[in-house]
């Protein structure tokens, strides 16, 4: 089991700090935590004047992010503005 040996050696060399996950390869994140927070707060605490609820398109336009980014954020936090509104009525 080479994986077990790798982690044991990391612990021996660096103690608890060695067990922290190392940065992963690939492109860095383009959407910051602040962007995510802004979308979630805006979704939950504001509403559109001309519509009953936010859509991914309207939120993307308001936030400056892509529609797919808004969709991923909503999915990650379990937000469904169209269904959540019906529950409030």
Domain ranges of the chain: 29-89
pLDDT above 50: residue 87: no
pTM of this prediction? 0.66
Quote the CA–CA distance of 70 and 67 in Å, as a whole number.
5
Cβ neighbours for 77, distance < 8 A, ≥ 6 positions apart: 40
Position 84 scores a pLDDT of 64
Of 19 and 64, more confident:
64
CB 67, CB 56: distance < 8 Å? yes
Position 47 scores a pLDDT of 83
Nearest-10 crossing angle of helices 33-45, 56-63: 130
pLDDT one-digit tens code per residue, 3-47: 888 888 888 998 888 878 777 788 888 999 999 999 999 999 888
Quote the CA–CA distance of 36 and 58 in Å, as a whole number.
16
Quote the CA–CA distance of 30 and 19 in Å, as a whole number.
27
């Amino acid at each position: 089991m080479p994986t077990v040996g790798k982690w044991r050696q990391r612990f021996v060399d660096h103690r608890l700090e060695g067990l922290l996950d190392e940065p992963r390869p690939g492109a860095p994140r383009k959407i910051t935590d602040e962007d995510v927070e802004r979308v979630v707060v805006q979704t939950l605490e504001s509403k559109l004047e001309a519509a009953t609820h936010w859509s991914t398109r309207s939120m993307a336009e308001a936030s400056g992010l892509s529609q797919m980014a808004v969709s991923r954020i909503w999915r990650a936090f379990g937000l469904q503005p169209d269904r959540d509104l019906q529950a409030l009525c």
